[in-house]
A = this chain, B = another copy of it.
Amino acid sequence: MLSSASAVSTALGAVEVAGTLAFAVSGLIVAANKRLDPVGVCVIAGITAFGGGTLRDVLLDRRPFFWVERAGWLWIVLGLCIAAMLVLRARHLAPTRRALLWPDALGMGLFTANGAQIALDLGMPALVCVLMGVVTAVFGGVLRDVLCNDVPSAFSDHQPYALCAFAGGWVLLGAHALDAPVWLALAAATTAAAALRIVSVYAGIALPPWKVDEGPPK
């Protein structure tokens, strides 16, 4: 039992780390496109990577944070940013962004599963668990866009992103309702959310526009 619990805990940790790096690179690219200075690029990359999980932990009153327990990961993100600033040029940004689709989708799926599982372990109601998965997966990017003075792309680009996380969260809850082992529930939720995201990007699925025939300016 103990070793199984500890294996799940290790798996949760590994999962959190893998998504973190993909998110850091996405923050780095947005900040570079905004012409932020090197300090700003590092801060935005770090907040994109750790912001969603941190906000979840603040909302759930959970301490210490992931990045306090394993402060080594802060160094890795910092090193990643400095390395990127030395080698990346503008002509690399768009291809890097495209290359990020898969790791970003996987990270989103992993964060969703992880965030929802943590809330479930704390005995939260079903919808709150799913929303904590969405917060973990999406709000790093939301904080990135707010700090870069953009409307968050997750709320405005009409591509399914938070919606995939939302669906993935329900897959996790469904798996638990069917008494699946934790690792299977996590894997199913991660796969579902990531697959939905990748399929919807390749298939060009767009959220329906909000039907405002001719809206008055606010």
Contact = CB atoms under 8 A, between A and B. Distances in A.
A40 B156 CA distance: 6
14 contacts: A33-B216, A35-B156, A35-B210, A37-B207, A38-B208, A39-B163, A40-B155, A43-B155, A68-B124, A75-B127, A85-B210, A93-B216, A142-B147, A146-B147
Interface stretch (A10-18, A58-66, A176-184, A188-196): A58-66
A127 B71 contact: yes
Interface string A113-137: 0000000000011111001000000
Nearest to A94: B216
Interface residues of A, number: 67
A39 B152 CA distance: 11
A3 interface: no
Interface string A83-97: 001001111011000
Contact of A58 (B58, B125, B150): B58
Q: How many copies of this chain does one complex carry?
A: 3
Interface in A194-218: 207-218
A115 to B, nearest CB: 15
A124 B38 CA distance: 26
Nearest to A206: B37
A165 B15 CA distance: 32
A54 B132 CA distance: 14
A105 interface: no
